[in-house]
Chain A
């Protein structure tokens, strides 16, 4: 059965304290993985797509990496505005583009 696990479930950081979020998965026929950010009461906002092991993508203080079994979202010197829930979603391709979402990591960055 395809499964996605994100860890930790919640993470509290001080402003400037770097850390990493993990997304591990068992998905047959994996074609790639998406990362999303979700603010409370809003829809997920697309951050990155990673297609192959070894690939990295960066946006401001965020860097996403991908291996065959897991993905990391590294947050460097976070600010309070980075506080959100971060979701990963492996996809196994095909035209219909179905995704499996993890339950997310709730990140709180304190000033």
Chain B
């Protein structure tokens, strides 16, 4: 079974804090993705990576950065958290090509 794990299910941070969200997959997938999901807006792609140390901006990269030092691990970094970054964050991985993405359980981040 494909397994994608995320470091926290729930996280509460203060405005201005640096926040790290970590994702690990065990299927040797090349592609990894970070999304945020908000009511009425659906899943929106923040960043994705198609190889170690490679990254590309998604649709809403502002305020975020990513790191992929190892194939199985993809981190999302909020340099200075703001209240409008309160959201559900979902990580996914897939093989390259027309293959399904597998999602982690999500991290519900609240920034106060």
Contacts and interface: CB of A to CB of B under 8 A. Distances in A.
Given A96-B31, A96-B50, A96-B96, A43 B90 contact: yes
Interface stretch (B12-20, B36-44, B62-70, B72-80): B36-44
Nearest to B54: A96
Given A97-B101, A101-B42, A102-B42, A43 B106 contact: yes
A101 B101 CA distance: 12
A97 B41 contact: no
B98 A93 contact: yes
Given A51-B98, A95-B96, A104 B42 contact: yes
| Category for how many chain A residues contact B | 20 to 34
Q: Is the interface of A mostly helix, strand, loop or mixed?
A: loop
Contacts of A101: 42-44
Nearest to A35: B100
Interface in A1-55: 31-32, 34, 36, 41-46, 49, 51
Looking at A97, A99, A101, the one whose CB has the most chain B CB atoms below 10 A away is: A97
Interface string B93-104: 010111111111
Interface core residue of B43, B50, B94, B103 (most chain A CB under 10 Å): B43
A98 B31 CA distance: 10
Nearest to A95: B96
Contacts of B99: 49, 97
B99 to A, nearest CB: 7
Contacts of B50: 95-96
Contacts of A32: 98
Contacts of A104: 42
B56 A96 contact: yes
